[in-house]
Amino acid sequence: MTEHERTPVDYIEVTRRTYDGLGYPPYHWVRSEEPPAFAPVTKPLSACRVALIASGGVYRQGQIAFHFRDDASYRVIDTSVPTDELRATHFAYDLRDARADINVVFPIDTLRALRDEGTIAGLTDEAYTFMGGIYSARKVAEELAPALVDRVVAQEADLCLLVPV
């Protein structure tokens, strides 16, 4: 792991203090005992099609918005979407900047620009969004993650970029 010049905010500790102050029991964060899988990157970045998955509660106008009670559904966003049709809804982060410029949590214009400049080969046709404030890690691991894996594999993505908030 790389050292950071400033001490990063420890959100596990911040959450513990907040819950403690409210009289709630501590939240049990996932601590992975097993090391992660590690798939080899076999092509240069400039030859790779990238799939985007973002958790910031992004939806496209016309789609059903997310609710805030462990919503494990997801939305399919066409990566040719006009940026002004994108919205953000979430209970756990300050939405003002995301609603002013969705690229702060869903870097769609950024990735299209990186494609145009040749840094990446392109985007998959579909991107995926969900509302990541899901307290049930089981629901994520058993329902949402397998569904998104199937989608990303079907898109024949070379790489997958994930953006939490």
Partner 1 sequence: MCHQSVGLIARAVEAAGIPTLSMTSAWSITASVNPPRAAFVDYPLGHTTGQPHDRADQLRIVRDGLRCFEQIGEPGTIVDLGADWGEQGWREQPLRGASRTATAAAAGSDRPAKADDGDSRGARHATPQYQLDEDRLAAEARHGADKACVACVGFDD
Residues in the chain: 165
Q: How far is the CB of 20 from partner 1 (least distance, A)?
A: 14
Does position 50 interact with partner 1 (CB under 8 A)? The reply is yes
**Which positions from 136 through 155 interact with partner 1, judged by CB under 8 A?**
137, 140-141, 143-149, 152-153
Q: How far is the CB of 4 from partner 1 (least distance, A)?
A: 5
Residue 6: left if φ>0, alpha if ψ -120 to 50, beta else—which one?
Answer: beta
Query: Could you say which of 20, 26, 47, 76 contacts partner 1 (CB under 8 A)?
Result: 76
The percent helix, strand, coil of the chain (3-state, each to 5) is: 30, 20, 50
Alpha carbons 56 and 161: distance in angstroms, whole number: 14
Does position 13 interact with partner 1 (CB under 8 A)? The reply is yes
Query: Could you say which of 44, 80, 84, 118 contacts partner 1 (CB under 8 A)?
Result: 44
CB-based burial label for 31 (10 Å; 0-12, 13-18, 19+) = exposed
Q: How far is the CB of 23 from partner 1 (least distance, A)?
A: 15
